[in-house]
């Protein structure tokens, strides 16, 4: 990875927008912490090439407002807006990669990392706010942490994991965003969230286990042999 003009421009733009939010929206908590987060993500993001990857990185920046709104019951509706924006970036980054860049191993590995940062922040915030149980937040965090750890293990074994989107992974991420966003909207409109939370407690663990099974199968299946080698 190296510093590119496109990534540098995106980093500056993201930091500017983040600082405008931090100082203008007056989120709960020390403003300096949010500012430090935006700068830290920007320093890393400046070395990640590709427009599609920069769209994906937006979800890492959004982790700060997601956490801020998740712990503040009076701003829970804004969390749903943050999740909607994050969901939009998740929908378009792949399209941008196919149209303007090339889908890459870096992009495939970056997506679960930024999803984990965003949804992990949301889960932790909702636990602090007393909206979801701690074990459910732990499932959400592990959903993204375990594949990253597994990838590191495979690399240490001198295996190059195939980093790409899987159907099960995309479904589980979509379910988490929709269900957590639904909980936020119900809470914002002072509606009973118990049924939505119950649905999340059932659907998210099932989708997470399905994702782990699919990723495990993809990681340890025998490598495909090229046609020329197979004779």
**pLDDT (tens digit per residue) in 119-153:** 889 999 999 988 899 999 999 988 888 766 655 55
Q: What is the rounded average pLDDT of the residues 205-213? A: 89
pTM: 0.81
Q: What percent of the chain has pLDDT above 70?
A: 81
- The length of the chain in residues reads 231
Average pLDDT in the chain: 82
| pLDDT confidence of residue 93 | 81
Helix and strand element counts for the chain (H, E): 9, 0
Domains of the chain, each with CATH number or no CATH? 50-223 (1.20.120.1760)
Residue by residue, what is the 3-state secondary structure of 44-105?
A: HHCCCCCHHHHHHHHHHHHHHHHHHHHCCHHHHHHHHHHHHHHHHHHHHHHHHHHHCCCCCH
Contacts of 72 (CB under 8 A, 6+ apart): 27, 28, 129
What are the b/e assignments for 33-45, b being 16+ CB within 10 Å?
A: ebbebbeebbeeb
Report how far apart the first and last C-alpha atoms of the chain are (Å, whole number): 37
Convert the pLDDT of each residue in 19-58 to its tens digit.
Answer: 999 999 989 889 999 999 999 999 999 999 888 899 999 9
């Amino acid at each position: 990875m190296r510093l590119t003009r496109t990534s540098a421009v995106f980093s500056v733009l993201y930091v500017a927008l983040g600082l405008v939010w931090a100082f203008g929206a007056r989120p709960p908590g020390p403003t300096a912490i949010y500012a430090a987060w935006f700068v830290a993500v920007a320093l890393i993001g400046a070395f990640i090439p590709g427009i599609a990857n920069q769209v994906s990185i937006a979800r890492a920046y959004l982790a700060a407002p997601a956490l801020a709104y998740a712990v503040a019951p009076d701003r829970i509706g804004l969390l749903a807006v943050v999740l909607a924006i994050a969901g939009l970036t998740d929908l378009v980054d792949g399209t941008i990669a196919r149209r303007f860049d090339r889908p890459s191993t870096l992009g495939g590995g970056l997506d679960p990392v930024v999803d984990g940062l965003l949804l992990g922040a949301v889960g932790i915030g909702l636990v602090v706010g007393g909206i979801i149980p701690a074990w459910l937040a732990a499932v959400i965090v592990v959903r993204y942490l375990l594949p990253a750890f597994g990838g590191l293990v495979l690399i240490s074994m001198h295996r190059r994991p195939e980093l790409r989107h899987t159907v099960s992974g995309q479904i589980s991420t979509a379910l988490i965003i929709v269900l957590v966003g639904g909980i936020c909207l119900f809470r914002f409109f002072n509606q009973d969230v118990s049924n939505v939370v119950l649905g999340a407690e059932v659907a998210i663990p099932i989708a997470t286990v399905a994702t782990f099974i699919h990723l495990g199968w993809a990681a340890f299946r025998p490598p495909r042999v090229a046609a020329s080698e197979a004779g």
